[in-house]
Amino acid sequence: MTSSTHLNPDIVVRFAPSPNGLLHLGHAYAAMVAHDFARARGGRFLLRIEDIDGGRSRPEFVRAILDDLRWLGLDWDRDVIFQSARLESYAAAADRLKAMGLLYPCFCTRSDMRQLQEDGPQPEGPDGPIYAGTCRHLDPELARKRAVTEPHSWRLDVAKAAAISGPLRWTDERHGEQSSDPERLGDVILVPKDMPAAYHLAVTLDDARDAISHVVRGDDLFASTDIHRLLQALLDLPTPTYFHHPLLLDENGGKLSKSRGSASLSVLRTAGEDGYRLVQELRAGIFPVGISLSQA
């Protein structure tokens, strides 16, 4: 879908949903914030479908996303981008990080992780328990041999990577200047066992490839940005400016999610509700009963 004349070619913003389920009101809000951010500055608004989770991604969810955004009146520029068409670039970047000695194979299973939790509380990071680093200490020769036959993911040795990159900073237009502290997320997985690339790797590469000037997304991804900034430094990628927006919360103060009963946009759309009006209300800060916006 193409749209109007662009006044500022330097501003490029994206909405990057994962087609793992139906969008709900929280996504409508996120899409609206990113869209309006781009339009207000005369920039481009791109739509990138983050469809590399083969186990959860479904074509019917992709179709629903496109229909929902059209229904909301949030038009995007250029063709829709699909991460599934870019797998080689993720593999190439992972190979580069491996050649730098920054990735190690991890053979830990879900039950190994559960066991660790049961053995004693694990340090908590902003996104959950931090990986204990079990496989970081494996003999590299032995790990290489095991990797030939055993399923494994690849983790970033974040302390080693941070030592190479040195101190890093990034700017958030809403939260101000940030000093990166990627170690608080631990050794994140960059190549999962059953996926061509993890979110952190794919999103960082794609934001560079799509020349995204401003990453506009929810506060739930704020902490991840420290890892993205680190990957930018390691892979010689530019650093966009960030804008992490507040999240819509339900009556219990939790993030909206389908599993907690938030109505999907498709249900509202097919029930004949007015999507354009819904967006106008979100813009005006008018939310359905019980729903509120998180504070900074």
Question: Active-site residue numbers?
Answer: 258
17/275 with CB nearer ligand GLU: 17
54/101 with CB nearer ligand GLU: 54
d(CA 14, CA 220) in angstroms, rounded, equals 16
Q: How far is the CB of 216 from ligand GLU (least distance, A)?
A: 8
Within residues 40-99, the interface with ligand GLU by CB under 6 A covers: 50
Q: Residue 103 is inside which H or E element, if any?
A: strand 103-106
Of the residues 13, 16, 22, 188, which one makes contact with ligand GLU according to CB under 6 A? 16
Q: How far is the CB of 28 from ligand GLU (least distance, A)?
A: 13
Q: How far is Cα of residue 113 from the mean position of the Cα atoms in its chain?
A: 23
d(CA 215, CA 14) in angstroms, rounded, equals 7
Q: What is the 3-state secondary structure (H, E, C) of 77-94?
A: CCCCEEHHHHHHHHHHHH
104/242 with CB nearer ligand GLU: 242
Of the residues 6, 18, 134, 250, which one makes contact with ligand GLU according to CB under 6 A? 18
143/190 with CB nearer ligand GLU: 190
Of the residues 11, 12, 13, 17, which one makes contact with ligand GLU according to CB under 6 A? 17
Name the residue among 293, 242, 288 with its Cα closest to residue 263.
Answer: 288
* Amino acid code (one letter) for 186: G
Contact stretch for ligand GLU (CB under 6 A) within 5-13, 14-22, 182-190, 273-281: 14-22
Q: For residue 121, what are the contacts with CB-CB under 8 A and spacing of at least 6?
A: none
How many residues line the site for ligand GLU (CB under 6 A)?
7
Contact stretch for ligand GLU (CB under 6 A) within 10-18, 122-130, 233-241, 253-261: 10-18
Within residues 213-232, the interface with ligand GLU by CB under 6 A covers: 217, 221
Q: Show the site string, 169-208: x = touches ligand GLU by CB under 6 A, - = not.
A: ----------------------------------x-----
SS3 247: coil
d(CA 80, CA 131) in angstroms, rounded, equals 35
For residue 109, with 0-12 CB atoms within 10 Å meaning exposed, 13-18 middle and 19 or more buried, which class applies? exposed
Q: Hey, what are 157's tokens?
A: 């040795």
Q: Could you give the count of Cα atoms lying within 13 Å of 39 in the half-sphere of its Cβ?
A: 13
β-bridge mates for residue 153, sequence order? 106
Contact stretch for ligand GLU (CB under 6 A) within 15-23, 61-69, 234-242, 281-289: 15-23
Q: Does 210 bind ligand GLU (CB under 6 A)?
A: no
157/210 with CB nearer ligand GLU: 210
d(CA 56, CA 18) in angstroms, rounded, equals 9
- The CB density around residue 274, as the number of other CB atoms within 10 Å, is 14
Residues that bind ligand GLU (CB under 6 A): 16-18, 50, 203, 217, 221
